[in-house]
A and B are shown apart, each in its own frame.
Chain A
Amino acid sequence: MRDVRDALMVARNSDGKLIRRPLSPHLQVYRWPISMAMSIAHRVTGVGLGIGALLLTWWLVAAAVSDDAFDSVQWFLATPIGLLLLFGWTLALFFHFFSGIRHLVWDAGFGFEKPWYDRSAWAVVIATGAATLLLWIVGLAVW
């Protein structure tokens, strides 16, 4: 026992064994409801899109600077790493786009009923997958 407060944390489990009580529930003991995953994913994709903004900046600045600079961006984006970055970017963009619409609907004062919560979350997931797939099918066909 490192602290006198630990005395309050001692308990017995159903086998009669002494155990340390868990603290208040943290992330790892929650069942993951879809609404929680959506909220976290909205923030994560938002931060990730910051990296996408760096990519856009590089592309625009290179196009304005010289042929060599522009060629190197276009070359990088066609490498496996570049394609992976672009794929992640479109996925994050579509997710943040559709999830953002869900947030704007809440901000307008609608959609707070529980069934709508879950259904709109799955709609965002499906729309994100479909839009990303469609964009890449069209993109690869054009390329």
Chain B
Amino acid sequence: MSGTSKTPKVGIMRSPLGRARGLGSAKAGAAHWWAQRLTALALLPLTLWFLCAAVRLIGATRDDVVSWMAGPLPLVLMIALVIATFHHLQLGLQVVIEDYVENDALRVGGVLLVKAIAVLLALACIVSALRLGL
């Protein structure tokens, strides 16, 4: 660890197949996979709730939306829905981009852009929900 040794240490812990392919490990694949399933599970009841709420809000005025959102349950569930939706969305779009974009710069740039947009849209939704409900 002194930095003076000239022996290359990189790659020593890799399997022969891993060294031949040179692609490294899957890194945070398990955490990504698990987060996608967890948000999917959360979205099952949240989506059903949202669809029921949406049907009741058909043709609603802005005052109707405000009085609906003023209840503690709609506000909390809406924010939960927004967080789960955008988290699930950016995880899924990341996989799609990684599958089809071969160019390194475009792929990494695309994934970062999708994540940035997802975070900003989610924040816009949360702030709006809080302004309506509080």
Contacts and interface: CB of A to CB of B under 8 A. Distances in A.
A103 B121 CA distance: 27
A61 B62 contact: no
A96 to B, nearest CB: 9
Nearest to B114: A50
B131 interface: yes
Contacts, number: 74
* Residue with the highest number of chain B CB atoms closer than 10 Å, among A71, A100, A143: A100
Interface stretch (A2-10, A62-70, A115-123): A62-70
Contacts of A49: 89
A107 B37 contact: yes
A47 interface: yes
B82 to A, nearest CB: 8
B92 A46 contact: yes
* Residue with the highest number of chain B CB atoms closer than 10 Å, among A56, A64, A65, A67: A64
Given A63-B65, A64-B128, A53 B40 contact: no
Q: Is the interface of A mostly helix, strand, loop or mixed?
A: helix
A56 B125 contact: yes
Contact of B125 (A46, A60, A71): A60
Contacts of A138: 55
Q: Is the interface of B mostly helix, strand, loop or mixed?
A: helix
B129 A60 contact: yes
Contacts of B8: none
Contacts of B89: 46, 49-50, 53
B134 to A, nearest CB: 11
A139 interface: yes
Interface string B35-79: 001001101100100010001101110100110000000000010
Interface string A34-55: 0000000001001101100110
B132 interface: yes
Contacts of B41: 104
A53 B44 CA distance: 16
Contact of A57 (B37, B59, B96, B121): B121
Given A60-B82, A93-B47, 15 more contacts: A46-B92, A47-B92, A53-B121, A54-B121, A56-B85, A60-B128, A60-B129, A61-B124, A64-B132, A67-B62, A71-B62, A101-B44, A104-B37, A135-B51, A142-B58
10 contacts: A46-B92, A47-B96, A53-B89, A53-B121, A54-B121, A56-B125, A57-B125, A63-B132, A64-B127, A97-B44
Nearest 5 CB-CB pairs, A to B? Answer: A64-B128, A64-B131, A60-B128, A70-B62, A61-B128
